[in-house]
Copies of this chain bind each other. A is one copy, B any other.
Amino acid sequence: MSEATAKQGPDTRARILNAAESLFMTHGFEATSMRMITGQAEVNLAAVNYHFGSKDALIQEVFRRRLTELNRDRLGALEAEEALANGAPLKPSKIVAAFFGVSLKMAADTEHGGATFMRLLGRTYTEPNEFVRQFLAEEYAEVVQRFMSALYRALPDVPREEILWRFHFMMGAMSYAIAGTDALQLFAGDFDDEDPTRLMPRLMSFLLGGLRAPLPEEVIESRAIRRDAA
């Protein structure tokens, strides 16, 4: 049989994953039913359970296929910078650019659904669902550890706890910006769907400004006290 006559479209698995990804983004996990997914994918209702086993397993697979690539790229960008640095500590801006630049690059990819996924991911960071969160943590474990080590080396004078907090804040700013829900309708009608490439320099300025901000007095004081005691 000629390849062109294969029932319809690409294989069922991919059709399901793509439909699920966009529906999860629009409606959330719980509010997206199997019937909505199989309807949009134009496959039979039973196909999800046949190919993935369960709805939860489908959710995991939606994330796994993208996150594997995303985190590989992030590590790749970090390693490229480290290779250039020849063992010297990296500049913080390079580290931040490696992590968030790759994220924003995927968020700008509207061709292959990367943008859809990043918006979904941004929402999922605040998802209460326990098994989703555990899965996210596992997928991120290595990349978080590597980037944190790089930041610790880059900022030896800043307490590690503070670096953790600021990375946390940066993750929040990025997620929110990419998810782009604009729940408060700040951009009332004006810039509803901006070109996401223009987001990159804006976000990067903001993140680096936050990262480089002077430490709060409280922290400085406690460090001064510690230094005095020594």
A129 and B172 form a contact (CB under 8 A): no
B181 and A171 form a contact (CB under 8 A): no
**Given the known A-B contacts A137-B185, A183-B137, A216-B205, are A173 and B128 also in contact in the complex, defined by CB atoms under 8 Å?**
no
B162 and A169 form a contact (CB under 8 A): no
A76 lies within 8 A of chain B by Cβ: no
Minimal Cβ-Cβ distance residue in B for A178? B172
B169 and A203 form a contact (CB under 8 A): yes
| Interface residues in A, total, Cβ within 8 A | 66
Partner of A169, one of B27, B164, B173: B173
> Measuring CB to CB, which residues of chain A are less than 8 angstroms from any residue of chain B?
25-28, 30-31, 122-129, 133, 136-137, 140-141, 144, 148, 161-162, 164-177, 179, 181-187, 191, 198, 201-219
A202 and B140 form a contact (CB under 8 A): no
Minimal Cβ-Cβ distance residue in B for A30? B30
- A216 to B185, alpha carbons, bound, how many Å? 24
Minimal Cβ-Cβ distance residue in B for A160? B190
Given contacts A171-B184, A173-B210, 4 further A-B contacts (CB under 8 A): A122-B126, A166-B206, A176-B176, A210-B213
A176 and B177 form a contact (CB under 8 A): no
**Inter-chain contacts of A204 with B (CB < 8 A):** 216
**Inter-chain contacts of A28 with B (CB < 8 A):** 28, 30, 127-129
**Inter-chain contacts of A217 with B (CB < 8 A):** 201
A213 and B218 form a contact (CB under 8 A): no
Instruction: Give 8 CB contacts A-B under 8 Å.
Output: A28-B129, A126-B183, A137-B185, A164-B186, A173-B210, A175-B176, A198-B218, A201-B216
Partner of A183, one of B133, B176, B191: B133
B123 and A183 form a contact (CB under 8 A): no
A175 and B177 form a contact (CB under 8 A): no
**Inter-chain contacts of A205 with B (CB < 8 A):** 213-216
**Inter-chain contacts of A183 with B (CB < 8 A):** 124-127, 133, 136-137
**Inter-chain contacts of A173 with B (CB < 8 A):** 169-170, 172-173, 176, 210
**Inter-chain contacts of A124 with B (CB < 8 A):** 183
B177 and A168 form a contact (CB under 8 A): yes
